[in-house]
């Protein structure tokens, strides 16, 4: 039995690429699993709760805009705190912010029309702090050789959580009267944050100077480094579509059929495709293929959006959600991989990872807010929603072009460095 178990573990490691990763990354991945549980719960079901209270898509868009703005502020604050203390400390602070958020949701659920902005701020602080520390650690725990594999492993974890959490939560909420199901699931979310605290203590600290923020020097460095400027541009453009599609398809489906369980099923199916997409990216997206795959994914997504003009039914929304979940990963992971390559392209850059990641998250959040504003410019009708999604998807062609510029610049730099030795 032990031989069979060892063989299964070895085969799993080979399949996922875990044999390329060290123990530090594995602890980080375990923490990522926990945050995706309570992060996914908030991302999906706070939206539906708000829509039940006030059946107007604008209230959800307003809530998400406040979340994205708070993430931008918290990411840069987290970058400062990562240097003043450590990225692990920032991750722990993000957990405390999520505890406060879930406490407000649990006890103040019936007054969400008044408390929604407070919940959004703590949600943004929690996410901004957590991702600020997480991305710094990811840059240090991986290298150019295995970074793409690491990103795909985290994507698999995200897919699994996206698969399990919404479908279970959706059925629990649907089966219980009133807001009881929401209160139960938000209570479980708070418990998950508390359980993660012990695992956060196992995160390995980052070696080197971490006690002094270099924000002013990082700004000068950003001004002079072309790759950093391009990185901010394509992260901003990625956010234009990314911020809307995080929740928009689920909300359109919920607007047509007001049923949390159906939203859970839809998110379950997208989770399955996210797992397949993450695995496929890890296998297919070598350094020379990433941009081509991102371009192909953008074209498929735009074509799928156009098809929605033909029929906008719950079935078509679910089918498109599945395609979107698979294809959008090739854009997101390509952007993430190149961003980490830019921020860790040499030892000097590593000293600025926290600050640069804060700038990156701010650019991404600014793009997400712009995407929400673009949606608000179109009529609040099914046709208007499709038109908005078409515009948002078209912007990704510009982002893919900029990723190509970064790739070519980094490759030329690598060739010059190789020639010197």
72-93 residue pLDDT tens: 899 888 878 887 788 889 999 9
pLDDT of residue 229: 87
Which residue is listed with tokens 């995160």?
203
Give the per-residue pLDDT at 346. Answer: 66
Give the per-residue SS3 of 273-333. HHHHHHHHHHHHCCCCCHHHHHHHHHHHHHHHHHHCCCCCCHHHHHHHHHHHHHHHHHHHH
Q: Which residues contact 267 (CB under 8 A, 6 or more apart)?
A: 44, 162, 163, 165, 166, 167, 170, 250
Q: Coil, strand or helix: which one is 258?
A: coil
Fold of 22-205+212-410: Growth Hormone; Chain: A; (1.20.1250)
Give Cα 354 distance to the centre of its chain. 18
Tens digits of per-residue pLDDT, 109-163? 888 888 999 999 999 999 999 988 888 788 777 776 776 677 778 877 877 887 7
CB 294 within 8 A of CB 260: no
Instruction: Determine contact, residues 357/75, Cβ cutoff 8 Å.
Output: yes
Question: Considering only CA atoms, which of 208, 70, 192 is closest in space to residue 139?
Answer: 208
The pLDDT of residue 5 is 42
pTM of the model: 0.78
What's the token pair of residue 216? Answer: 């002013």
Residue 237 confidence (pLDDT) above 90: yes
Report DSSP state, residue 56: -
Nearest to 247 by CA among 52, 63, 16: 63
Q: Are 58 and 113 in contact (CB under 8 A)?
A: no
For 177-223, the pLDDT digits (tens) are 878 888 999 999 999 999 888 888 888 776 544 445 566 777 777 77
Q: Are 159 and 274 in contact (CB under 8 A)?
A: yes
Q: Above pLDDT 70, what percent of the chain?
A: 88
């Amino acid at each position: 039995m032990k031989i069979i178990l060892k063989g299964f573990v070895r085969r799993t490691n080979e399949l996922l690429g875990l044999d390329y990763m060290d123990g530090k990354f594995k602890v980080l991945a375990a923490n990522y699993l926990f945050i995706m549980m309570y992060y996914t719960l908030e991302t999906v079901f706070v939206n539906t709760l708000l829509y039940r209270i006030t059946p107007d898509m604008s209230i959800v868009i307003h809530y998400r805009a406040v979340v994205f703005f708070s993430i931008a502020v918290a990411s840069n604050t987290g970058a400062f705190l990562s240097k003043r203390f450590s990225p692990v400390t920032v991750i722990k602070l993000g957990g405390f912010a999520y505890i406060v958020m879930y406490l407000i949701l649990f006890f103040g659920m019936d007054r969400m029309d008044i408390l929604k902005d407070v919940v959004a701020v703590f949600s943004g602080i929690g996410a901004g702090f957590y991702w600020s520390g997480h991305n710094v650690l990811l840059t240090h725990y991986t290298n150019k050789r295995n970074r793409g594999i690491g990103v795909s492993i985290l994507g698999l974890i995200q897919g699994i959580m996206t698969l399990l959490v919404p479908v279970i939560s959706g059925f629990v909420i649907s089966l219980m009267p009133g807001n009881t199901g929401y209160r139960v699931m938000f209570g479980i979310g708070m418990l998950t944050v508390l359980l993660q605290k012990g695992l956060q203590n196992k995160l390995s600290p980052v070696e080197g100077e971490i006690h002094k923020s270099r924000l002013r020097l990082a700004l000068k460095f950003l001004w002079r480094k072309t790759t950093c400027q391009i990185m901010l541009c394509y992260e901003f453009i990625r956010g234009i579509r990314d911020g809307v599609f995080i929740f928009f398809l689920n909300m359109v489906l919920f607007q047509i059929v007001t049923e949390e369980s159906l939203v859970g099923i839809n998110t379950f199916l997208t989770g399955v495709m996210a797992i397949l997409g993450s695995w496929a990216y890890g296998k297919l997206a070598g350094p020379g293929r990433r941009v081509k795959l991102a371009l192909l994914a953008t074209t498929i997504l735009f074509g799928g959006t156009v098809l929605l003009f033909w029929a906008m039914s719950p079935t078509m929304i679910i089918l498109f959600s599945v395609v979107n979940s698979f294809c959008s990963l090739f854009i997101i992971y390509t952007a993430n991989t190149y961003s980490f390559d830019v921020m860790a392209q040499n030892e000097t850059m590593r000293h600025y990872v926290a600050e640069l990641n804060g700038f990156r998250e701010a650019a991404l959040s600014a793009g997400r807010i712009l995407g929400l504003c673009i949606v608000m410019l179109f009529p609040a009708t099914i046709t208007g929603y499709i038109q908005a999604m078409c515009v948002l998807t078209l912007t990704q062609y510009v982002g893919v072009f900029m990723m190509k510029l970064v790739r070519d610049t980094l490759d030329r730099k690598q060739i010059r460095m190789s020639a010197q030795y």
